[in-house]
Amino acid sequence: MSDILIVDDEQVIIDSIIKISKLDGFTAVGVTNVQDALKRLEAEKFLIIISDIMMPDLDGFAFLQKLEEKRIKIPVIMTTGYSTVENAVQSLYQGAIGFIPKPFTIDEMESLIHRSIKFSQISRLEAFSTNKIIYVPCPAKYLRLGYNSWILADDDGSVLIGLTDYLIKTTENITSIELFHNEEELLQGNVCVKFSTDDGLVHSILSPLSGKIIQRNERLIEDPSLIEKDPYFGGWLYRIIPNEFEYETKHLIPCSSDRN
Amino acid sequence: MKIYRKIGTKLILVIGITTLIILGIYAYLSITYHSDVMLDEVERHALQLSETVKSSTKYGMLLNQRDHINEIIKTIGSDKQIHAIRIYNKTGEIAYSTDNAEVGILVDKSQKSCSVCHNDNVTLEKISVADRKRVFNTNNNTSRVLGIINPIYNEKSCYTSDCHVHSKESKILGVLDVTFYLDEIDNKIVDNEIRGIIFSILSFIGIAFIIGIFVKRYVDKPVAELVKATEEIGQGNLDYKIAEPSKDELGKLAISFNKMTQGIKDVRMQLFQSEKMASLGQLAAGVAHEINNPLTGVLTYSSFLLKRTKDNPEMQEDLNVIVRETLRSREIVKGLLDFARQSTPKKSLISINEIIERAATVVANQLKISGVVLERKFDENLPKLTADANQIQQVFINLFVNGIDASSKKGGKLIVETKLTSLPPKGIVVIKSAMCDKNHSLLDPDFKIEGHPSIKMKIKSGDSSGIIHLDPVYGKQRHSFGLEIDKSKPISLHCPECEISLIDKTGLCPKCGEPLYKINVANAGHLCGCAKFNDDYQKWEHIDLAGPQKFIEIKVSDNGSGISSEHLSKIFEPFFSTKGQKGTGLGLSVIWGIVDNHNGTITVESELDKGTAFTIRLPINS
């Protein structure tokens, strides 16, 4: 039994991820195509899956679809050498827990593995205890990019951006946060915030929307724990003027769909 | 082309032959008429003479003085024009004649001169003047002869005369026959005919000549130009333009032809651009995918070595270099992907002088090798600018490399100058969003004016309608109408998609009182302009209120070889390169794209052997 299943057509990637997993005491096995991965999943249980996108025969997106069809609810981290905004957003839209472009550093991969393992554990808890609220779903009018970040469109055309409680619950206590400055541009699917947690990990979170920052939440710099306390209101990150709202929100998930 | 196949030749032949036929008919009618008139004149003369002979011989007849009568006839008959004078008696015997040999001969009544009266065994007594004449050829003489017969009627004096030759019952006593040579008149008729023919031929030649010149000037030349242009374009030379088209239909054809060529050129350019981008994108994707996997290995394993060798500082230092350089490679590959996708700029507040300095560091080595000096004239008090630092740096690296290439042959010098300028928005600001009241975009990316998508409107005038393209630069008037519009007729403007009127019902042009068109600009109010053709009124209140726009102006000039004016207009086009195999022809088109993405402008001035100067203006509050 292993904790992590790695699906990548390049052996060097499998070897690298196995090495990184070992650092934190996780065990990992690798397969080089989607068919083999599906076979392994029938026979064994894994905590998380790390899958490449561009593979011969079935690609990563097809893999995500197969998992959905088979109702296999294991968190998946998507990774690719062809890291485009579209690939990142599409991955998260199709239910991946995270997206990491190649080449990744040990730290980047480590923090994402940690979050995913945690997510896996929370999901199990949730499955056993139906009446206990483990995390707060985002409010109805919000849209989210996977399980990472949310947006709230304001009447004046500006948009608020923040992090979801799903994400916060998968990390340890936030010790410091690194925000972009006003006037800078955010790009959907690219990193919009980095924060460190007391386990020494640095988490990079992808932006749900592109646009120019007109205001950032200065209170977070002094008190990063505000995100944990009130992720959907007081713990917002930025107010931006979106570049292509209509186009980019097509791959965001309405939070109202989470409430049934 | 063979001469008989030419339009000109055919035209000349058709018109020439028509003229020839008309002139021929006219000449024929005219000559016939003149001949008739002349013949009539001779006839009249002949009749008179005939009467004269009759009356002058009357006395002699009465006295029966044959010698006297002969004398008179001979005398009158000696006239050159007179062929013969004969008097026949009642029996048909020649009683008197200018030719003595004939006297006494009995003439057959079936002869032509007699048959007029002695016909079908009936003898007429009175005949008309027209019937009395006859025209015939003498046997020995080629010239025609006119004969007039004059019957001598019985008179009281005749049968009462002493000689009693004639009885009272006879009605006609004899016939006087005078014949004239017609050679003089025939000569005149021939003369007239020859003159008519010569005139016709000369007219034909003259008309052919005039038509020839006309056709050559107004048909052959423009047609030859068009033929040449089609051949040039057929061979792929899309820069060929028909110069100075005339104002007639062929000129209009030439103008539309030029427009069509321009259209083909634009489409081909876009095709080039998209093909280039597509292949670059595929290449970049392939390269990125292939390189990123091994890079992951390098990065992971070197990081592990770093963790494992914490007690060996020397090794740590080397491994750090590997990690750092791998991370740098990652950025390079990412940059390649971004470039291939022409991604939106990642803007941040930057100092332009700093960026230029960074670009200068990149080309420092190249400057040294080529012996080119880079002179900086920086305005140190420039405000910061919101821009993509990497892209702007790429712009200057590119311009510097071009400058070094152009000026390296002689002690070259590159000058880079930065300053703050403020310019009125008119003629500078590009309209990048234009909508009708129903929010249909009026921008036409398929029809660009100076590289920017134009504003497309449907124009209606009377029964006809068409599409016009407005200059997307505020206040500039390089509109393209593409169709013939009667400028005096009232026109209306509509959205090409939903036909909604673009005319502003609330105001009129303050300059000329004509209606205004109104276009909505997203987040920037609306643009109004005079809908009359020869009025250049345009107003964009939102921009005007913002006052003169502040720009950072950067000028990069070299003292190199310069660019010829024919190349100058094309240097921002993709794949245009003067460096031959050395260049890709992508550099300046990419620069243009980057500057445009930053809402800026780039212009170029150049003089051969003097140098080239690029001026970039980047707006400060974009």
- Rounded to an integer, the average pLDDT of B126-148 is 75
Phi, psi of B617 (to 5 degrees): -120, 120
Residue indicated by tokens 């904790």: A3
Lowest model confidence (mean pLDDT) among B110-119, B247-256, B563-572: B110-119
Please give the Cα distance from B137 to B124 (Å, whole number). Answer: 25
Please give the Cα distance from B112 to B117 (Å, whole number). Answer: 10
Mean pLDDT by 10 residues, chain A (260 residues): 91 93 92 93 93 90 92 92 84 92 91 93 76 76 92 90 92 91 85 92 93 90 89 92 84 79
Residue indicated by tokens 């006809």: B464
**pLDDT above 70 coverage of chain B, percent:** 88
pLDDT at B578 over 70: no
Q: Using an 8 Å Cβ cutoff, are A243 and A199 in contact?
A: no
pLDDT at B622 over 50: no
Nearest chain A alpha carbon to B338: A84
B292 with A212: Cβ contact below 8 A:
no
- Closest-CA distance, A155 to chain B, in angstroms, reads 14
Radius of gyration of chain A (CA): 18
C-beta atoms surrounding B422 within 10 Å:
11
- Closest-CA distance, B305 to chain A, in angstroms, reads 12
Write out pLDDT tens, residues B258-272: 888 888 887 777 677
Q: Using an 8 Å Cβ cutoff, are B394 and B400 in contact?
A: no
Using the Cβ of B128 and the Cβ atoms of chain A, whether some distance falls under 8 Å is answered with: no
Higher pLDDT among residues B429 and B161, named by residue: B429
Write out pLDDT tens, residues B450-475: 777 888 888 887 777 788 888 888 87
- Closest-CA distance, A102 to chain B, in angstroms, reads 6
Distance of CA B381 to the CA centre of its chain: 57
Residue A209: what pLDDT? 92
Range 439-468 of B in CB contact (< 8 A) with A:
none
Residue B274: what pLDDT? 63
Name the residue among A20, A54, A81 with its Cβ closest to that of B300: A20
Range 145-174 of A in CB contact (< 8 A) with B:
none
A183 with B348: Cβ contact below 8 A:
yes
A187 with B297: Cβ contact below 8 A:
no
- Closest-CA distance, B484 to chain A, in angstroms, reads 39
Residue B581: what pLDDT? 46
3-state SS, one letter per residue, for B384-443: CEEECHHHHHHHHHHHHHHHHHHHCCCCCEEEEEEEEEEECCCCCCECCCCECCCCCECE
Name the residue among B299, B307, B346 with its Cβ closest to that of A103: B299
The interface pTM score, or ipTM, of the predicted complex is 0.85
B291 with A81: Cβ contact below 8 A:
yes
- Closest-CA distance, B272 to chain A, in angstroms, reads 24
B297 with A12: Cβ contact below 8 A:
yes
Closest alpha carbon to B393 in B360, B345, B364, B346: B360
Please give the Cα distance from B596 to B593 (Å, whole number). Answer: 5
Range 336-375 of B in CB contact (< 8 A) with A:
337, 341, 343-349
Q: Using an 8 Å Cβ cutoff, are B30 and B196 in contact?
A: yes
Please give the Cα distance from B420 to B417 (Å, whole number). Answer: 10
Closest alpha carbon to B420 in B360, B474, B380: B380
Higher pLDDT among residues B254 and B410, named by residue: B254
A81 with B345: Cβ contact below 8 A:
no
Cis preceding linkage at B490, omega within 30: no
Which chain A residues contact residue B346 at CB under 8 A?
185, 187
Using the Cβ of B300 and the Cβ atoms of chain A, whether some distance falls under 8 Å is answered with: yes
User: Read out DSSP for B68-128?
Assistant: HHHHHHHHHHTSTTEEEEEEEETTSBEEEESSGGGTTPBPPTTSHHHHTTEETTEE-S---
Among B296, B439, B599, most A C-beta atoms within 10 A, so best to mutate, is B296
- Closest-CA distance, A185 to chain B, in angstroms, reads 5
pLDDT at B344 over 60: no
Report which listed range, A228-237, B4-13, B192-201, B328-337, is most confident.
A228-237
Written as one letter, the residue type at B346 is K
B348 with A181: Cβ contact below 8 A:
yes
Residue B487: what pLDDT? 65
At B174, the pLDDT band (50, 70, 90 cuts) reads confident
Phi, psi of A25 (to 5 degrees): 80, 15
Closest alpha carbon to B572 in B226, B269, B216, B345: B269
A185 with B344: Cβ contact below 8 A:
yes
Mean pLDDT of chain B, nearest integer: 81
- Closest-CA distance, B599 to chain A, in angstroms, reads 15
Q: How far is CA B460 from CA B219, B496, B505, B515, in A?
A: 33, 11, 17, 14
Distance of CA A75 to the CA centre of its chain: 10
Which chain A residues contact residue B337 at CB under 8 A?
82-84
The tokens describing B288, both together, are 């990125």
Using the Cβ of A141 and the Cβ atoms of chain B, whether some distance falls under 8 Å is answered with: no
pLDDT at B286 over 90: no
